[in-house]
Structure 1
Amino acid sequence: MFGCLVAGRLLQTNLQQIDDTHAIFELPNASSINHVCVFLIGTIPFPDGYGATVHLHWPGRGFQLLGMLSNDKPSSIFRLRSSFTSSTTTRAFDSSSNPEMLSDASDTTAVLGIAIEPLAQIFPQIQSLPSQNQQGPTAVDSTTVARPPIDPTLLAERIVRHLFNYISGFASSQLGPDVAVPMGIIAKWYEVFMSKVKNSGTAFLERDAE
């Protein structure tokens, strides 16, 4: 379900399942890691209303929350170097999750933990991250900070506005005010729209609304 890519290394698929809601990747030679990308591999989506928090265990420092993944945000890039505070910021992982996992960690092997949780529990955790972990180049990349779900009515309005603006671009040359919209134009809009959503989420709808 999950993949992990450390910058400059081969793709990691050696996910270790701890239980139904917890899994880990081991990160050898962790002191040389600057950035890591965690993502859904696309075979199994999260159940409705669920996502995952991403945590890093550094030997001697415990687990610390980095960010999240969801069906709407299937990948995130995290900066690991200098991202730790003096204490842990998460309880999703502790020694009870896998006692052997912590004892086996060496001075150079970190553990990336993934915990599947309800989104209603994830968003408060993300919002409670220290401010230095929400912005700036020395902590979690700013794209990993999630926002609460947008109001469905507002989202629908923005999607319709995006469609209207797209179709309006053809009005002067191909369409008149009373001419039916060809299905080919609707199909092309859908293709463009879904491509944007898959590549960058729905943030572009907010920009269009400004």
Structure 2
Amino acid sequence: MFGCIVAGRLVDVNKYVFELPEAHLINHLPGYAATVHLLWPNKDWQFLGVLSNDKPSAIFRLKSTISPEEAAQMPHMNAELGISIEPVQAAVVPAGQQVSPQTAQAFAQKTLGNLYEYAMSFATRADSSMGLIGSGAPVQVLPTKVFDDWYNNLLRKIRRIQQIR
């Protein structure tokens, strides 16, 4: 059964109709769950949560990614609700790991920026004694240990954050 309730307003109850043959044999879909997503106009899909046999209902708090200025320009704004049926292993997202594409992109940019700054602080100018083949243009080199050290430092920080939580 699927139902959608929006607090304070009636949602059309007959918008989704599925014919289910041999209904008397239906119980649950073991091993599957539903991921629930919301799409604001001109934005990316926002992950809301998961419904499964272990958690058959939920209340999702919506955080609009629409600014008040954008909302004022679109007074009759519609959003889309998306439901995807997935294997439980793919659908279950541990708390704290519900990351939007924008958050993931910002994290990746910050992490790679940190790596670049850290690595470049160890860069040295190559000279002719290093036997580099090339056009003779100035070249900077990095010891590979720099990347090992940076990676180990990152893992240590992640472990420390997980211990705090």
TM-score by length of 1: 0.35
Give 1 or 2: higher strand fraction: 1
TM-score where L is the length of structure 2: 0.43
Larger radius of gyration: 2
